[in-house]
């Protein structure tokens, strides 16, 4: 795909080709130019500096990206220092055996093994640069642990089907934040990102914030030698721009889409963003020379609704997760010079229902009244299965006892604020309720006999009379026998139960160097990609922390290759 394609949906321009380096009056010249200073970008920058490179990073906004906006979890194992401190047994081989079930063939076994073998040393490297990680373990299934816990099972490893192939080991490493701050699960990724950024800047990293890459510069041989960026020339204009964006972000935070009346405030927020966007027209062009390499690490494209509609229309109704910098610019930059993109239709949809645990002890059915999954699986496993194979529609079926227990499980400070709010809102206001299963089926548009038969089959599993074809244990299975009965909409379009999503596709790269490959699988000289701009271990299935882990891994990999001038 090129900028001339009608489905380009990006402001990225066709490359500028020059015959001689001095055909452009370069404003800045460095060894390495990093485009997008999130987890992957900062890892590349810091590693490259440690290898003697001069590095400049540009970022569309202030830096941090989706990494900083995240829950601050990095997926790591193979015997990390934190795992050993918590007496958790793990090895690179065991980690590989688990991740192979999640990763499939999106990367080679050699690449996945390398990722696993480097996992524990990566944690050591991050800690050496000031990242605070701790070993208090939450041993049970959860989408996100209570704020006192910093090591947990952020995947499917405790699910029997997975545990039969790899010994369970807690691999979700949360960056430390104070307990009260940790009662939310967003904007905590600074615990991982900021120490790395501070270390890189202390060692000489130059950062150009609020600077947007628009065009790659190549020579006649096709080597990427630089980038054209846009930057505010007037400080007052930039401050006005920041003020408008801040107003919009506050409205988004105060009035999330699950709240009644949120559409009014969302429109106001969007007007602020439109006003901010209009201020970008007056920016000046800056040309930055990259002597050894350019890294693309500018995130995915989930906030580019036109790209999502083109590549993954099934997910149009999901709730974009990340930042509005995730607009596909990094991927389009790579494609503009012939880079091959792959897996662009692959999205991860996060349908988290646990906590409360009793929600997951209930039963999930599609619109035919059929179960299709072990309800205890990791939320992204559920979300993708629901979207890819069941039209993005599903209901959670519960009874009075399970609802009562679920509300108890999120009462007080037993769960995080967003977990408590979602559970209470859906149990009390979002659920369809009926005195019988047949009546409930009629209310949600499912065949009554089909749903009744499925509930009966589920109760036989819960009572120990039958085994579950989806490998759910009896302890994890709740009886659905006490009226009233409840149905909670967990589909992509559920108004009170947003389903976050992010994109997984990206540029195809050399798995040993991170160098971007063209359609003929040949490397594009001077161009590298990492994180969500590249195909990597997190590009097929998602588990919490794997994207950040892949970003750190692939960012450092690219830095080492650039330092060798490959």
Note whether residue 251 is domain-resident: yes
Regarding whether 105 and 58 lie in a shared domain, the answer is no
Let me know the angle formed at the C-alpha of 84 by 148 and 110, rounded to the nearest 5 degrees: 110
Tokens of 148: 């006192």
pTM for the structure as a whole? 0.94
Please check whether residues 418 and 449 belong to one and the same domain: yes
Number of structural domains, the chain? 4
What DSSP line would sit under 438-473, residue for residue?
Answer: HHHHHHHT--HHHHHHHHHHHHHHHTTSS--TT---
Same domain, 40 and 89: no
Residues 511 and 556 in one domain: yes
Q: Which residues of 354-380 are buried (b: 16+ CB within 10 A; e: fewer)?
A: bbbbbbbbbbbbbbebbbebbbbbbbb
Q: How far apart are CA 396 and CA 423, in angstroms?
A: 12
Task: Give a yes or no: residue 1 inside a domain.
Answer: no
Q: List all residues 6 or more positions away from 62 whose beta carbon is below 8 Å from its beta carbon.
A: 209, 210
Check if the beta carbon of residue 67 is closer than 8 Å to that of residue 297: no
Q: What is the pLDDT of residue 282?
A: 86
Among 183, 204, 220, the domain boundary falls at 183
Q: Do both 343 and 287 map to the same domain? A: yes
Helix axes 119-128, 546-563, angle to 10 degrees: 80
3-state helix, strand and coil shares in percent for the chain, rounded to the nearest 5? 40, 20, 45
> Is 370:452 a contact under the CB 8 Å cutoff?
no
Are residue 290 and residue 272 in the same domain, yes or no? no
Integer Cα distance of 350 and 368 in angstroms? 22
What is the C-alpha R_g of the chain? 24
Q: Which two tokens stand for residue 304?
A: 């580019």
Distance from CA of residue 319 to its chain's centroid? 12
Tell whether 511 and 481 lie within a shared domain.
no
The secondary element (H helix, E strand) that includes residue 138 is strand 137-138
Which SS3 state, helix, strand or coil, does residue 163 take?
Answer: helix
Whether residues 415 and 455 share a domain: the answer is: yes
Q: Note whether residue 168 is domain-resident.
A: yes
Whether residues 361 and 411 share a domain: the answer is yes
Q: Are 86 and 151 in contact (CB under 8 A)?
A: yes
CA–CA separation, 149 and 168 (whole Å): 18
Residue 507 burial by Cβ neighbours in a 10 Å radius (0-12, 13-18, 19+): buried
CA nearest neighbour of 102 among 128, 135, 77: 77
- Number of other CB atoms surrounding residue 224 within 10 Å: 25
pLDDT along the chain (566 residues), means of 10: 95 96 94 98 98 98 95 97 98 98 97 98 98 96 91 96 96 94 86 98 97 97 97 93 92 73 82 93 95 98 96 93 94 98 96 94 98 96 96 98 97 86 92 98 98 98 97 96 98 91 97 97 98 97 96 98 82
- What pLDDT is stored for residue 260 in this prediction? 63
Last residue of a domain, one of 489, 514, 538: 489
Same domain, 79 and 179: yes
Domain boundary among 462, 489, 516: 489
What range defines the domain where residue 402 resides?
351-489
Q: 502 and 323 in contact (C-beta within 8 Å)? A: no
**Which CATH number covers residue 196?**
3.50.50.60
Strands 16-18 and 211-219, bridge-based pairing: parallel
Q: Distances in Å between the alpha carbon of 11 and those of 2, 58, 171, 333, 532?
A: 12, 17, 39, 10, 19
Specify whether 335 is located in the same domain as 271. no
């Amino acid at each position: 795909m090129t900028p001339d394609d009608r489905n380009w949906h990006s402001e990225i321009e066709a490359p500028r080709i020059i015959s001689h380096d001095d055909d452009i009056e370069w404003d800045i010249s460095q060894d390495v130019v990093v485009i997008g200073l999130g987890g992957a970008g900062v890892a590349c920058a810091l590693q490259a500096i440690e290898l003697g490179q001069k590095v400049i990073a540009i970022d569309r906004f202030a830096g941090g990206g989706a990494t900083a906006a995240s829950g601050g979890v990095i997926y790591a194992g193979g015997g990390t220092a934190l795992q050993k401190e918590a007496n958790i047994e793990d090895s690179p081989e065991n980690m590989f055996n688990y991740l192979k079930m999640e990763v499939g063939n999106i990367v080679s076994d050699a690449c996945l093994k390398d990722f696993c073998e480097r996992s524990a040393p990566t944690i050591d490297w991050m800690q050496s640069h000031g990242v605070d990680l701790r070993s208090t373990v939450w041993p049970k299934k959860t989408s996100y642990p209570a704020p006192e816990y910093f090591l947990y099972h952020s995947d499917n490893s405790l699910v029997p089907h997975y545990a039969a192939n790899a010994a369970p080991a807690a691999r979700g490493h949360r960056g430390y934040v104070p307990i009260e701050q940790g009662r939310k699960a967003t904007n905590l990724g600074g615990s991982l990102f900021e120490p790395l950024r501070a270390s890189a800047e202390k060692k000489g990293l130059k950062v150009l914030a609020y600077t947007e890459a628009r065009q790659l510069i190549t020579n006649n041989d096709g080597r990427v030698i630089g980038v054209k960026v846009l930057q505010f020339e007037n400080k007052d204009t930039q401050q006005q721009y920041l003020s408008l964006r801040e107003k919009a972000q506050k409205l988004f935070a105060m009035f999330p889409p699950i709240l009644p009346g949120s559409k009014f405030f969302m429109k106001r927020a969007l007007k602020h963003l439109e006003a901010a966007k209009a201020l970008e027209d007056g920016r000046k062009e800056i040309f930055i020379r990259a002597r050894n390499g350019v890294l693309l690490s500018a995130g995915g494209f989930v906030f580019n609704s036109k790209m999502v509609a083109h590549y993954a229309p099934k997910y149009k109704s999901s709730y974009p997760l990340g930042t509005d910098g995730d607009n596909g610019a990094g991927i389009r930059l790579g494609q503009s010079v012939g880079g091959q993109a792959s897996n662009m239709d692959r999205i991860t949809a996060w349908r988290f229902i646990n906590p409360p645990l009793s929600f997951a002890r209930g039963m999930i059915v599609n619109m035919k009244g059929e179960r299709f999954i072990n309800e205890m699986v990791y939320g992204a496993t559920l979300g993708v299965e629901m979207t890819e194979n069941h039209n993005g529609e599903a209901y959670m079926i519960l009874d009075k006892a399970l609802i009562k227990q679920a509300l108890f499980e999120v009462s007080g400070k037993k769960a995080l604020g967003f977990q408590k709010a979602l559970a209470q809102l859906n149990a009390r206001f979002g659920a369809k309720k009926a005195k019988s299963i047949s009546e409930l089926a009629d209310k949600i548009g499912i065949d009554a006999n089909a749903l009744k038969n499925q509930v009966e089959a589920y109760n036989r599993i819960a009572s120990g009379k039958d085994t579950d074809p989806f490998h759910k244990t009896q302890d994890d299975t709740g009886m659905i026998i006490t009226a009233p009965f409840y149905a909670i909409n967990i589909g992509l379009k559920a108004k009170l139960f947003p389903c976050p999503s992010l994109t997984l596709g990206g540029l195809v790269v050399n798995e040993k160097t991170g160098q971007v490959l063209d359609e003929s699988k040949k490397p594009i000289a001077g161009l590298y990609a990492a994180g969500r701009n590249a195909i990597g271990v997190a590009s097929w299935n998602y588990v919490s922390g794997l994207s950040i882990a892949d970003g750190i891994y692939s960012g450092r990999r690219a830095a080492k290759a650039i330092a060798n001038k490959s």
